[in-house]
Structure 1
Amino acid sequence: MKSTITWMKLFPILFGFFVMGFVDVVGIATNYVKKDFFLSDTLANLIPMLVFLWFALCSIPTGMIMNKLGRKNTVLLSMGVTAVVMLLPLIDYNFNLTLLTFALLGIGNTILQVSLNPMIAQVVSEKKMASILTLGQFVKAISSFLGPVIAGIAASYWGNWKLIFVVYAGTTLLAGIWLLLSIDTDSPQNVKTTTSFRSALALFSDKIILWLFIGILAVVGIDVGLNTHIPKLLMAQTGLSLNEAGLGTSLYFISRTAGTFFGALLLTRIDSKIFMQSGMIIAIAAFAALLVSDQLWLLLLWIVIIGLACSNVFSILFSYALKHKPEHANEISALMIMGVSGGALIMPFMGVLSDGYGQIAGLLPLLLCMVYLLWTTGKLGKQS
């Protein structure tokens, strides 16, 4: 009976991860907006930047808000913001309002990511936390997959790509109602309150929290770096056109999605430290092989293996952080999500190396990130 009750509370939280994936619509939407308003690449790139920026600016304030409102109410706030924002492009479709829409979408998604992840701790045991967080990432990946499909259907069959926002607004509203009716309101007094940025950032004085935060930077850097540079590598090594080389990025994304699904199953049976350690050893070996391969089928094979091996690292690091200091779960969640934005810091280094020494050299910082993550597993082992 207890297991049934847990799953009844877990399903609406997992559906919240589906809403979390709506932010990835910015990728396909940017292309439509660029076409609609005849934008240059530089101007069009303001749109994803506006979404990405808020992970750095709003993560810690959201942690503080959770201490006052509770996690459930903060999640409901984020869904309310998201549902309303989705309707703005349908009211008046102009470039300025579009920028505002995606800025607010970024804010809403930041609030959702910070507040939804620690809600898992309310309904599952610490032993199952890494597995369930991984399952949430799998649900989010499905949502990300469906975004371009829904936008294409809206454009082709309904004659207006922006109708995807109606679908998203309705789905977000349903998710909020389901969460409202299914999850008990948590007490803000259950956690130690934080009243300033200084007290939240003071958690970095804990070496474990600092190592985990840098780990989040590293794994997001790997994800962003590979998604960006895989087509360039394939073109450089095999002579493929850009359209053909884009297959590599899609393949990486598919392998990550499959990896989160299998990871959610395996992490219920395998210790997360051993699971991550094994995965990083495999990832480093595959990445080294990727750098020296020049045959297309081999390059694609290594890309798939790397995607599978790295797909669960984010969830494992996040779960370790929450378990390390559960009394500071809100603030820790904020710091970890702040690391999502910082992961892009690796891109300038990759760009400099690529311009100066070629695509292989540009990928080397990602190898360093993988080595760091393997080193981190040894430190995490001391906490288990």
Structure 2
Amino acid sequence: MEAAIENTQVKQSSLVPMAIVGGLFFVFGFVTWLNGSLIPFLKIACELNHMEAYLVTMAFYIAYTVMALPVSTVLKRSGYKNGMVLGLLVMSVGAIIFIPAAQERMYSIFLLALFILASGLTMLQTAANPYIVLLGPKETAAVRISIMGLLNKSAGIVAPIIFTAFVLSDMSQFDETRLAPLDEIKRNAELMELSSRLVTPYIVMAIMLAILAVVIKLSPLPEPNLEENTNDSDDDKWAILRFPQLIFGALTLFFYVGVEVIAGDTIGLFGQEMGVSNFGQLTSYTMAFMVAAYITGMVVIPRFISQETALALSGAFGIVLSILLLTSSSDSSNVWQSLFFWTGAPQIPNVVLYVALLGFANALVWPAIWPMALTGLGKHTSTGSALLIMGISGGALMPLIYGYLVESSGNSQSSYWIMLPCYLVILWYALHGHKIRSWTSSVNDKH
């Protein structure tokens, strides 16, 4: 009886911290997946080509790589709770910098604001993630991780809808065919009016982030007791390179984050070119399919299929969708009319739908690769985790490569071929790469 009461008290005491951390993961997703709507907006407002437009993803995701070590140093000094507060305040500063960027219509300031925003997000994520494991039994940590993933991707559905409602309404007046005949003064005035639409939303975002920082500071979040191994020698640190499954896992994550960001952040601009009226909301379609995949994964893994099988299916589905995207007509919408008419959402061309469906192929890759890559690392697990985080840089580089291909070929649809080798790497890792335990042999050595 006493044990039951104690368990109930533990659950109640962890409820508020779980709700707070869940809210933070929603913030992660909202800020991250807003980029999908921001890219086509800035392309018009700042008169950019494709490669310049995708510098948005470069400025945002490169922060994870550049700021990883400085953030870890700050967290050791400040603690994880204060680190979350500091991360939110840095994000608030980044949001404030959007205001002069919008008023001056200067793309370089937009990129600086995005980098600062992502730097704060890097600190926030690095500090918040330990709480997922801390707030409850280790046996149910996987469930908590899935819940956080759902919150993250659900925010990715909401963010583009809100952005479209407040910023992208009546975008037809900024069509290039209407702007082209205008003289430079009138054209600049029109684009300045468009750019100024960002001011109010980002003022609100800055205020909300600052308020959230105060809430976290005053909250009952405990400081996690994370024991760090301080006895590793230099040889031990370099020993991490002796694990092929980890190195190949980090490489696979690089390509995975690349295609995940391509699917989420290029769909808006691609849909605009395909004549989709609600192009600013298209990232929501990709995120909706990711949420559906998360829920499916929670039901079928590991009851019916293993993590390895789920990863292989994800890679194979990504390959199939990429081929369909490259070979299908851009004029037909019959797939949407046949399969998704019941949703009531505006129909989209097949080729745009295939980009959105990549969200379903992508959702289960991240949670599958991590346990496969870290298997057998023992005391090197924390170092291995840091190496895997570096794979996020794929989100900085792959969309930029895609933008370069679009500028070179003049064809957005055919440029999606860049995703094929990425999904082939994911499939290879699922079938073979994660089994390699030695650089001198490809046999599955589990010792």
| TM-score class, shorter | 0.7 to 0.9
RMSD across aligned C-alpha pairs, in angstroms? 4.6
Q: CA deviation at 1:274?
A: 0.7
Q: Output the amino acid matched with 1:221.
A: G
Q: How has the CA–CA distance of structure 1 residues 64 and 248 changed in structure 2, closer, same or farther, with 3 Å as cutoff?
A: same
Q: Is the Cα contact below 8 Å between 1:51 and 1:103 reproduced in 2?
A: yes
Q: CA deviation at 1:361?
A: 5.2
Matches within 5 A, 1:363-374: 363-374=419-430
State the distance in 2 between where 1:261 and 1:224 align. Answer: 20
Structure 1 position 186 matched with structure 2 position 224: yes
User: Aligned residue for 1:98?
Assistant: 110
State the distance in 2 between where 1:272 and 1:378 align. Answer: 21
TM-score normalised according to structure 1 size: 0.75
User: Aligned residue for 1:216?
Assistant: 253
Structure (1 or 2) with the greater helix fraction: 1
Q: CA deviation at 1:368?
A: 0.9
Q: CA deviation at 1:139?
A: 1.4
Q: CA deviation at 1:249?
A: 6.6
Q: Which one of the candidate residues 51, 70, 90 is aligned to 1:81?
A: 90
User: Aligned residue for 1:117?
Assistant: 129
**Corresponding residue SS for 1:124:** coil
Q: Which one of the candidate residues 259, 263, 266 is aligned to 2:299?
A: 266
TM-score normalised according to structure 2 size: 0.66
Q: CA deviation at 1:66?
A: 3.2
User: Aligned residue for 2:20?
Assistant: 12
Q: CA deviation at 1:343?
A: 4.9
Q: Is the Cα contact below 8 Å between 1:59 and 1:335 reproduced in 2?
A: no
Q: Output the amino acid matched with 2:428.
A: Y
Q: Output the amino acid matched with 2:426.
A: M
Describe the superposition over 1:132-173 as per-residue Cα deviations: whole angstroms up to 9, x where unpaired: 22322221222233323333443469x833222233223323
State the distance in 2 between where 1:222 and 1:120 align. Answer: 26
Q: Is the Cα contact below 8 Å between 2:37 and 2:268 reproduced in 1?
A: no
State the distance in 2 between where 1:306 and 1:150 align. Answer: 23
Q: Which one of the candidate residues 301, 316, 319 is aligned to 1:284?
A: 316
State the distance in 1 between where 2:63 and 2:397 align. Answer: 15
**Corresponding residue SS for 1:88:** helix
Unaligned stretches of 5+ residues in structure 1: none
State the distance in 2 between where 1:286 and 1:133 align. Answer: 23
Describe the superposition over 1:163-203 as per-residue Cα deviations: whole angstroms up to 9, x where unpaired: 22233223323433443313112346x22359999987763
Q: How has the CA–CA distance of structure 1 residues 122 and 29 changed in structure 2, closer, same or farther, with 3 Å as cutoff?
A: same
Structure 1 position 70 matched with structure 2 position 45: no
Matches within 5 A, 1:1-384: 1=8, 2-21=10-29, 22-39=31-48, 43-90=52-99, 93-94=103-104, 95=106, 96-155=108-167, 160-180=197-217, 181-187=219-225, 190-192=227-229, 203-227=240-264, 241-243=274-276, 251-263=285-297, 265-266=298-299, 270=302, 274-278=306-310, 280-281=312-313, 283-284=315-316, 287-288=319-320, 291=323, 294=328, 297=334, 307-318=359-370, 331-343=383-395, 345=397, 348=401, 362-375=418-431, 376=433
Q: Output the amino acid matched with 1:372.
A: W
State the distance in 2 between where 1:303 and 1:162 align. Answer: 30
State the distance in 2 between where 1:197 and 1:245 align. Answer: 54
Q: CA deviation at 1:38?
A: 4.7
**Corresponding residue SS for 1:270:** coil
State the distance in 2 between where 1:288 and 1:74 align. Answer: 42
Q: Is the Cα contact below 8 Å between 2:59 and 2:111 reproduced in 1?
A: yes
Aligned length: 376
Q: CA deviation at 1:279?
A: 5.0
Q: How has the CA–CA distance of structure 1 residues 345 and 97 changed in structure 2, closer, same or farther, with 3 Å as cutoff?
A: closer
Q: Is the Cα contact below 8 Å between 2:249 and 2:429 reproduced in 1?
A: no
Q: CA deviation at 1:90?
A: 3.6
Q: Is the Cα contact below 8 Å between 1:58 and 1:110 reproduced in 2?
A: yes
Higher CA-based Rg: 2
State the distance in 1 between where 2:39 and 2:403 align. Answer: 24
**Corresponding residue SS for 1:120:** helix
Describe the superposition over 1:81-116 as per-residue Cα deviations: whole angstroms up to 9, x where unpaired: 112322233467332543332221121122223332
